[in-house]
Amino acid sequence: MIHVQSLNGAWKMRQDGSTEVIRARVPGCVHLDLMSAGKIADPFYGDNELKVSWVHESGWTYERSFEPDAELLSADRVFLECDGLDTIADVSVNSRVLGHADNMYVPHCYDLTGKLSNGPNSLRIRFHSPVAFARPHMKAAPLHCPSDSIPGSVYTRKSPSQWGWDWGPKIPTTGIWRPIRLVGYRVARLEDLRARQRHRNGEVTLIVEVAVESFRKAECELRVTLTHPDGRAESLSAPVKGSTARLQVPVSDPQLWWPNGYGEQPLYRVDATLVCGGEELHTISRQVGLRTLKLERKKDRWGESFTFVVNGVRVFCKGADWIPADQFPPRISDDHYRHLIRSAANANMNMLRVWGGGYYEDERFYDLCDEHGILLWHDLMFSCALYPADPAFLDEVRAETREQVRRLRDHACIALWCGDNECIGALTWFKESRESRDRYLVDWVRLDDARAAAVREADPTRTYWPSSPCAGPGDFSDTWHKDGHGDMHYWSVWHEGKGFDAYYAVKPRFCSEFGYQSFNSLESVRAYCPEEDFNITAPAMEWHQRNDGGNRRINEMFSRYFRMPKGFAETLYLSQVQQAIAIRTAVEYWRSLRPVCMGTLYWQLNDIWPVASWASI
């Protein structure tokens, strides 16, 4: 059996070069801890973002002491398991360096066997400034990042949007952002679980496979318990042979999982338990929805179709793009996640696109999407930039991709893996890449080959799509304006200033991104702007508009379709009406084109902070 000792909760932190100790909470991040300690004001208010820029220029050390439980000290193996370290960190126990972490997207595990004292032990994690880390890399080999961001994000495996975006602040925070614990294992542990589905003639079989790491010789077996949606449970067992075990579990009276609006979302639970000498050593659980899913691409008189088919039914995908729900992810509550996913489902959405400039979400996000029938087009975390393609970076990309795809592949909601957001387009955005296109295209191909191979190794059942937008593997054409193949990002209305009737000029096969801005609600504005500045040209309002010319575009469109609003509250409200009309115009027309168009995902569902943006919530 395993023994878990949580290391969440109270920690201490201090800034590099300072002796002042500040109380900290884990999971958390340095900005939340500084706010709690009264050391910085809310970075979202006014232009406080500028006043806290010193935080990301500094290194920070988190530390605490702990006494290991007796069960840990008697275990065959003891590990320090860190679900998320953000990002450039050195980890040490009792002044002994355990290792280095440089990727917020992967868990880090350090072997502590024989390294703990029976009594107080010290744990220290020193985080380096991500901005300072990136500078010498940018100086040696400059690579373009989005113009709205702090340069250098591409040299860290850290959420690109934390460095700034045209809807987000420049606050690349750092810290222990996901749970951390000590875990003791006896005899062996499960390293991986995979639950594949075989559908034949109305019958479903689950093929459960596990990888086992043994710490000493023993005869073990795998026991799989399948719990049906109605609570019925059935178990099967099979011996562990070497480091693997495999079981086929027939599902009696299988109930199929459907996207929202197409049917119900019955969910099964798979518990895989490693048993040795009658003792349960380790259990991994998965939530599973029974369904078939494929992306159908067929040549037709309009070009090539792009249709998701679930359980043999062609689905028109209705939804939006998802960005991180908070600049500081440790404070995203269950209620916040639930509100956003439930709101999407209540609006009759059946798909969200997890955008490639954020991070891989917590398990609770994917569970909610399973429960509400929300399919996920899932980008990998690369966006709008030129990335390195050296062997060390590509090795990191492969490991990250395998880790995240293995973690998420059993969720019914995952519909497609996509390599990145707009990185093919980025090859044409920058002077360097335009003048040396072959060099940067080769780098992108190397990056994409690494991602594609890792996805196909970890999850060969789903389609891998190279980029969004994209006309298909090996096709680097302009899918912002050409609408006959693949997925399309259509931005001619907002970025090019065309009227709403421009949506009638294109017939996308699948529009995975389009949108129109509005100001946020008066309630949200009050959270960052004093009432004496209730004017869209006031400094606080302009600071909370990150798209160059955004306020002007909203006002200019007023003059096309409305009389100008009388006051500030009316301006905010009318901008939202205008945004709704823009989205409705596009969606109603493109849905009328079915089966030419089989998906409309608008930019974007939610916001990362209170700001004028394309978000509907």
Which of 201, 337, 197, 351 is CA-nearest to residue 262? 351
Which residue has better confidence, 524 or 147?
Answer: 524
* pTM beyond cutoff 0.95: yes
- 125-139 pLDDT per residue, tens: 999 999 999 999 999
What would you report as the CA-atom Rg of the chain, rounded to the nearest whole angstrom?
A: 25
Rounded Cα distance between 269 and 412, Å, is 12
Residues linked to residue 176 through DSSP beta bridges, in sequence order: 85
Please give the C-alpha separations between residue 501 and each of 498, 551, 556, 592, in angstroms, as whole numbers.
8, 21, 15, 15
| 219 SS3 class | coil
Query: What is the pairing mode between strands 317-322 and 220-227?
Result: unpaired
Catalytic-residue membership of 422: yes
Q: Is 474 left (phi over 0), alpha (psi -120 to 50) or beta?
A: left
Instruction: Provide the pLDDT for residue 259.
Output: 98
Which of 321, 260, 248 is CA-nearest to residue 291? 260
Count of H-run helices and E-run strands, the chain: 15, 32
Indicate the helix (H) or strand (E) that contains 392: helix 391-408
Query: What is the pairing mode between strands 599-602 and 317-322?
Result: parallel
Rounded Cα distance between 116 and 418, Å, is 43
Contact (Cβ atoms closer than 8 angstroms) between residue 607 and residue 343? no
Contact (Cβ atoms closer than 8 angstroms) between residue 560 and residue 566? no
Rounded Cα distance between 415 and 375, Å, is 6
Which of 538, 574, 541, 542 is CA-nearest to residue 555? 574
Contact (Cβ atoms closer than 8 angstroms) between residue 169 and residue 150? no
In whole numbers, what is the pLDDT of the chain averaged over residues?
96
Instruction: Provide the pLDDT for residue 447.
Output: 98
Instruction: Provide the pLDDT for residue 263.
Output: 98
Q: How many C-beta atoms surround the C-beta of residue 123 within 10 A?
A: 20
Residues of the chain with pLDDT > 70: what percent?
100
Contacts (Cβ under 8 Å, ≥6 apart) of 133: 88, 152, 155, 156
pLDDT at 403 over 90: yes
Which of 340, 360, 229 is CA-nearest to residue 287? 229
- 29-81 pLDDT per residue, tens: 999 999 999 999 999 999 999 999 999 999 999 999 999 999 999 999 999 99
| 199 SS3 class | strand
Q: How many C-beta atoms surround the C-beta of residue 118 within 10 A?
A: 9
Instruction: Provide the pLDDT for residue 144.
Output: 87
What's the average model confidence in pLDDT over 384-402? 97
Q: Which of 67, 422, 432, 523 is catalytic?
A: 422
Instruction: Provide the pLDDT for residue 145.
Output: 86
Residues linked to residue 600 through DSSP beta bridges, in sequence order: 318, 511
| 60 SS3 class | strand
Question: 347 is written with which tokens?
Answer: 């609006």
Contact (Cβ atoms closer than 8 angstroms) between residue 187 and residue 76? yes
Residues linked to residue 300 through DSSP beta bridges, in sequence order: 303
Contact (Cβ atoms closer than 8 angstroms) between residue 270 and residue 226? yes
Tell me the CA end-to-end span of the chain in Å, nearest whole number.
45
Residues linked to residue 521 through DSSP beta bridges, in sequence order: none
Q: What is the largest CA-CA distance in the chain?
A: 80
Q: How many C-beta atoms surround the C-beta of residue 583 within 10 A?
A: 20
Which of 381, 394, 383 is CA-nearest to residue 453? 394
Label residue 344 by pLDDT band (50, 70, 90). Answer: very high
Residues linked to residue 192 through DSSP beta bridges, in sequence order: 211
Instruction: Provide the pLDDT for residue 266.
Output: 98
**What is the distance, to the nearest Å, from the Cα of residue 234 to the centroid of all Cα atoms in its chain?**
34
Rounded Cα distance between 215 and 396, Å, is 27
Contact (Cβ atoms closer than 8 angstroms) between residue 13 and residue 30? yes
Instruction: Provide the pLDDT for residue 1.
Output: 79
Label residue 185 by pLDDT band (50, 70, 90). Answer: very high
Label residue 147 by pLDDT band (50, 70, 90). Answer: confident
- 295-333 pLDDT per residue, tens: 999 999 999 999 999 999 999 999 999 999 999 999 999
Instruction: Provide the pLDDT for residue 485.
Output: 94
